[in-house]
A and B are shown apart, each in its own frame.
Chain A
Amino acid sequence: MGEVVGIPRALLYYHYYPMWKAFFEALGQDVVTSGKTTRAILDAGAKVTVDEACLPVKVFHGHVLALVGKCDYIFVPRLVSVERRAFICPKFMGLPDMIRCNCRDIPTIVDSCINLSRTTREYVGAVYSTGRMFTGSVLKILAAHNRARAALARYTRRLESGMTPDEAMAVMGLASPCDEPVRTAVAAALSSSSFSSSFSSSSSWSSLSSSSLSSPPASGAAGALRGGPGRGAGRVVVGLVGHPYVIYDPFVSMNVVRRLREMGVSVVTSDMLPAAITEREAARFPKRVFWTIGRRLLGAGFHFLRSGTVHGCLHMRAFACGPESLIGEVLEREAARSRDVPFATITVDEHTGEAGVLTRLEAFVDVMTRRRKP
């Protein structure tokens, strides 16, 4: 039969796309995504949402609109919670409702409600009812779910080896044809020294225990990833803290990862750190942070600021992001206390100009480079 499910390339696409794609394809559906974020997509989204909405939510609306006419279903999951006693953000909890009210005449919305905050029962129900939209067979749903989980595990390992989502998806063969530049970028990165060193260390990731986390580093990013001192000779390493849908969206972030790499800097993002490290570091805050991504950012920020593995910590956030307004404050205070690692915050919104961001990145790289010299 092969109907088409559209997945907007926004928000937690960057965390879960391989899983979602595997799930729907195992159920016999074709999967399309919207293209990369463009000015037109952002403008379309900003037009239908209220002014106060944050940039990523506006971008998401734009991607939904971009999928109209290209698919029979649009996957807009209600991601309430992906772990016990924690949420993602209130806006994720109301996302399908916002889409329904703001976007008229769009394909059927598949709004699976993922809520693992209390029990797994709701999650099982959500997977089942989503599967039932496409097949009558429970076994098929189960198999699709297993394949989806396996895809997610493979993808997460790639991220933790130092790849960005685009690179990881390209390596996994998930990139759409329009992503050809990414493939070449990956090939180039794989051949460059620092990247291959971080990449080759990835095979041992799954077996890393907490004791080996402090083992002597290779160099650059790989060291920072392991949690050991990585700032020796070699490249400048920057720890980049930010929501995945901000820092990995080339349009929203003004291509921050690529820009930094082009300036000769190795980039370690919060998603490249193993959960063990971010959880341990986030526990330094007196209260458990009840946003999953927020806690990861806090833990990553603390790690970058305290462990001596990076030469600078850059926080990139979207204007009006609720969790980050508080997380950023805590990180800033930590940075001011330790005074060891330069810290900068860049806030992006729909009016941000590339030149302004670039100037700040260059200045920050200068600071890091100068600080390194004795």
Chain B
Amino acid sequence: MLESLAVLLLCQLLGELIVIATDWPIPGPVLGMAVLFAGLMIKGDIPQPLVQTANGLLAHLSLLFVPAGVGVMTHLTLLGNQWLPLTASLLVSTLLTIAVTGWVMQRLSGSGTDEGDVR
């Protein structure tokens, strides 16, 4: 448990250091995720304690968004001014993305209409 938490923190730290050293505009933790992913690929499996720690953290992932999310209270004026572009963009872009991604994948992978149960 403690070892795997150390691994996660080390990967994040490594990610942050690479970001600072290279000035690459990618978030440190995302690079940390890539580092851990590469490590798992090289190792060829996931150590059981790491699975447990990761599951523990990810089971309550959505709680971790709350403190930052509450920060919208500092941008209420912006939300008031730009609710129209934001709403339009969310609606159009989300529907378009679903349509395009689904269509391209269905085209490229053959029809395969009888796989799985579709509800």
**A associates with B:** no
Interface residues of A (CB under 8 A from B): none
Interface residues of B (CB under 8 A from A): none
